[in-house]
Chain A
Amino acid sequence: MAPYDLVALFGTTGSYFVYVTIGFAFGFILESSGFGDSRLLAAQFYFRELQVLKVMFTAIVVAMILIFWSTALGLLDYDEIWVNPTYLWPGVVGGLIMGAGFILGGYCPGTSLVSVATLKLDGVFFFLGHVTGIIIFGETVGFITSFWNSGYLGFLTLPELLHVETGVVVFLVTCMALLMFAGFDWLRSKIYGKKK
């Protein structure tokens, strides 16, 4: 039953090979989807290009369906999957900061690495700024510990929050994603005309 202890299965070297393969595949898909181009990423926020939304949200929905179908069939132990604990207020503030950084710089941390891999200068500088920000945060987080740990809600998930069965939440999220794709396509065509 997954998740598997890769080190026990393949040894240390074998597990590193698995991690490298997964990382390679992830980076390959991101780059081939155009996520290494800051213009494409930033265009998302002006509704000019909807690739980011569609690719990422499709990946989310596919992963969600695979995870919960695997759990339902006993192939995966969902309790062994890490769920980030919710710290509400730092999450909100962090999201605002990241959103501002994303639209200003045209990258998020992951896509900046994709850009660095293809030696784009803007990606390199974004990445350097990103690392600098991490170091500064690491050195100063001690001054904001009480805020950083505020709004703790535990390992909160949508089914627990909404008091609805997990399968129903999966269906609703899938419907929401598909409606969002159609809705943004309509919005884009209204603002910029039909895509040729």
Chain B
Amino acid sequence: MNTRLQPEMLGATVLLLASAALAFYGQPDLNQKWEYLAPKLEPGLQQRTVYIDPAELLHLMNDDYIHLIIYDVRPEPDWNEFHLVDAEHIATQDFASQRDRLRSLPENAVVVIVSNDEFLSTEAWKLLMAVAKPNAYILEGGLNLWLNIYGVPTEEVAHHGKASLGKPDGRMRHRFRLALGDRHAAARPDENLVPQREYTPRVKLLKKIAKAGGCG
């Protein structure tokens, strides 16, 4: 009896075992993907090249050439109280559903993630990069800093004043009399009327490399 294992049978067994092992091992989830991407992307966080000044975000909001997407990752009560005009409220666990949209963004697209401080938005940025690696940035100082700069200290907001940014804890530290969402004046200040701020522009538009494939 010929007991030699045929090469075809050996190959088939190897392929079967490799695919079965893969079925058990699984594919990386978003957190694991971020760990793989971290060596390349973490320096952007450490050197703060992905954090943009509120004045730069305001400029982007008024730049008709830029396809701007603002992701607001705060809890819903904070969102209802105040959010920027044209911002989209999204939970970080829903980022995966944005994958196709993010992969189809044009060259002039910029994504900015906002939260009350930087903590939530930084974690959200990591997840977003693991989903699709868009041209994404984080609002420096969060909406607490935004409202410090562009907040309206009138009767619209009860006892409005500058929030302390010394110990960021992720909370909205401005108080609002009414939950007006994006109907606050500070939701989209007039760039020509607000005090001008000096800032280092950080946003760079990415050149899309045409990808294609297929074999005849």
Contacts and interface: CB of A to CB of B under 8 A. Distances in A.
Interface string A14-39: 00000000000000000000000000
A74 B216 CA distance: 30
Given A166-B27, A168-B23, A109 B18 contact: no
Contacts of B215: 110
Contacts of B25: 72, 167
B52 to A, nearest CB: 24
Contact of B214 (A84, A155, A166): A84
A155 B212 CA distance: 13
B22 A72 contact: yes
Interface in B17-33: 18-20, 22-28, 32
Interface residues of A, number: 32
Contacts of A173: 19
B203 interface: no
B3 to A, nearest CB: 21
A165 B26 contact: yes
A69 B22 contact: yes
A171 B216 contact: no
A65 B27 contact: no
Interface residues of B, number: 30
A171 B22 contact: yes
B35 interface: yes
B40 A62 contact: no
Contact of A178 (B15, B32, B133): B15
Given A167-B26, A171-B23, A82 B213 contact: yes
Contact of B19 (A79, A110, A171): A171
B185 interface: no
Interface string B77-121: 000000000000000000000001001000000000000000000
Contacts of B37: 1, 77
Interface string B118-157: 0000000000000111000000000000000000000000
A69 B216 contact: no
Contact of A77 (B12, B24, B36): B36
Given A65-B15, A174-B16, A167 B23 contact: yes
B208 interface: no
Interface in B195-216: 211-216
A174 B100 contact: no
A174 B213 contact: no
Given A77-B37, A170-B19, A110 B216 contact: yes
Given A1-B37, A171-B22, A71 B27 contact: yes
Contact of A167 (B27, B212, B214): B27
Interface of A: 1, 58, 61-62, 65, 68-69, 71-72, 74, 77-79, 82, 84, 108-110, 154-155, 165-168, 170-171, 173-175, 177-178, 181
